Amino acid sequence: ADINLQEIHDTLISVAHEAGRMILSANPTDISQGTKLNSADIVTETDKAVEALVSSRLSKAYPSYAFIGEETYKPGMRVTSAPTFIVDPIDGTTNFVHGFPDACISLGFAVDRAPAVGVVYNPYRDLLFTAIRGKGAYQTQGAVWGLEGGQGRKSKLPLSSSPQPLRGLDSALVATEWGSSRDGVNYEVKTQVFQKLCASKESGGAMVHSLRSMGSAALNLCAVAAGQLDAYWEGGCWAWDVCAGWAILAEAGGVMAGGNPGVWDPQIDERKYLAVRGAPAGQKELVEEFWGVIGDGRME
């Protein structure tokens, strides 16, 4: 049967707003005990409640489509080529818990393992990023207040490639994240990437303008899509961290590079993602330069 991406996009936006209200009214201190990797790998009762809401809405609207969500994922689950909702109920849980206002609902839809629709909503800033494959990416501010408060502040802007060429890593603002994996190979790779990106050229580094770690993979991808960041690298992302943001990035002219991004098979997926913003020139060169600087660390 035909897949109606526009209708899926509209459904995801309304689910995102509903989930956003739930997040804003939740108690961020309800950390669940003992379910994850370590004490930095946080999940709250709100993450679980939001995922339950999202999956019940989506399975009612689209009973035949698959669903993968961060909180109900079990080892062995795969993203197949079937139409699949790929959902992170709260991306930026650590920010949510600390009241740092950069957390979002990340709702992706993939067909043939490729992101086709992305909806990322930050309820704290009432900021919505959306994209449908082939139809462009948009940023909408004030959607909820505009509708419910009658403030008339709603604005919807297309996201498109920056008119500024990329001039290399030494002119770049780059996001990276620590994630929650804090030992072994993964921790070493991350630490080395951060060091190499920042170090002076004389000592073999890239001397980037600076690094940012805002704490949400999806919002990082949206910031690259919006041209606010030149690049974002993270080792250790899962499909739900990147699917929605990737759809938005790609429609804004950005690219995703790295170790098998989108293969989403834990056996072969290196889970390294490098997003580079859209630009009239320098995109490919920046990707090459990045790999040259960081080498080919593989995540476990």
Annotated catalytic, 241? yes
What is the smallest separation between the CB atom of 190 and ligand IPD, expressed in angstroms? 9
| The only residue of 83, 123, 142, 215 in contact with ligand IPD, by rule CB under 6 A | 215
Could you say whether residue 179 binds ligand IPD (CB under 6 A)? yes
Annotated catalytic, 296? no
Query: Which residue of the chain is nearest ligand IPD when measured via CB?
Result: 177
Annotated catalytic, 88? yes
Give the Cα separation of 108 and 117 in Å (integer): 6
Beta strand segments in 143-268, E: 155-159, 173-176, 210-212, 231-235, 255-257
Strand order in the sheet with 231-235: 210-212, 173-176, 231-235, 272-276, 255-257
b or e along 230-269 (b: 16 or more beta carbons within 10 Å of the residue's beta carbon)?
bbbbbbbbbbbbbbbbbbbbbbbbbbbbbbebbebeeeeb
Amino acid at 292: G
Could you say whether residue 176 binds ligand IPD (CB under 6 A)? no
| The only residue of 105, 117, 175, 217 in contact with ligand IPD, by rule CB under 6 A | 217
Nearer to ligand IPD, 210 or 213 (CB): 213
- The window from 148-156, 201-209, 212-220, 250-258 that contacts ligand IPD (CB under 6 A) reads 212-220
Nearer to ligand IPD, 89 or 282 (CB): 89
| The only residue of 88, 102, 126, 251 in contact with ligand IPD, by rule CB under 6 A | 88
The residue behind tokens 């961290």 is: 241
Choice among 51, 71, 241, 269 that is catalytic: 241
Choice among 88, 102, 126, 269 that is catalytic: 88
Could you say whether residue 241 binds ligand IPD (CB under 6 A)? yes
Give the Cα separation of 290 and 245 in Å (integer): 21
Say if residues 248 and 131 touch (Cβ distance below 8 Å).
Answer: yes
CB neighbourhood size of 210 (10 A): 10
Choice among 11, 13, 42, 70 that is catalytic: 70
Could you say whether residue 102 binds ligand IPD (CB under 6 A)? no
Could you say whether residue 51 binds ligand IPD (CB under 6 A)? no
Annotated catalytic, 248? no
Could you say whether residue 236 binds ligand IPD (CB under 6 A)? yes
Say if residues 92 and 216 touch (Cβ distance below 8 Å).
Answer: yes
Amino acid at 291: W
Can you tell me whether residue 172 is helix, strand or coil? Answer: coil
Annotated catalytic, 90? yes
- The window from 158-166, 194-202, 213-221, 243-251 that contacts ligand IPD (CB under 6 A) reads 213-221
Spell out the residues 6+ positions from residue 215 whose beta carbon is closer than 8 angstroms to its own. Answer: 92, 94, 95, 100, 102, 103, 177
Can you tell me whether residue 180 is helix, strand or coil? Answer: coil
Could you say whether residue 70 binds ligand IPD (CB under 6 A)? yes
Choice among 47, 51, 91, 230 that is catalytic: 91
Nearer to ligand IPD, 87 or 137 (CB): 87
Nearer to ligand IPD, 258 or 282 (CB): 258
Could you say whether residue 186 binds ligand IPD (CB under 6 A)? no
Annotated catalytic, 177? no
Judging by DSSP bridges, how do beta strands 173-176 and 155-159 pair with one another?
Answer: unpaired
Q: Which residues of the shown chain bind ligand IPD in the complex (CB under 6 A)? A: 70, 88, 90-93, 177, 179, 215-217, 234, 236-237, 241
Show which residues are catalytic.
70, 88, 90-91, 93, 241
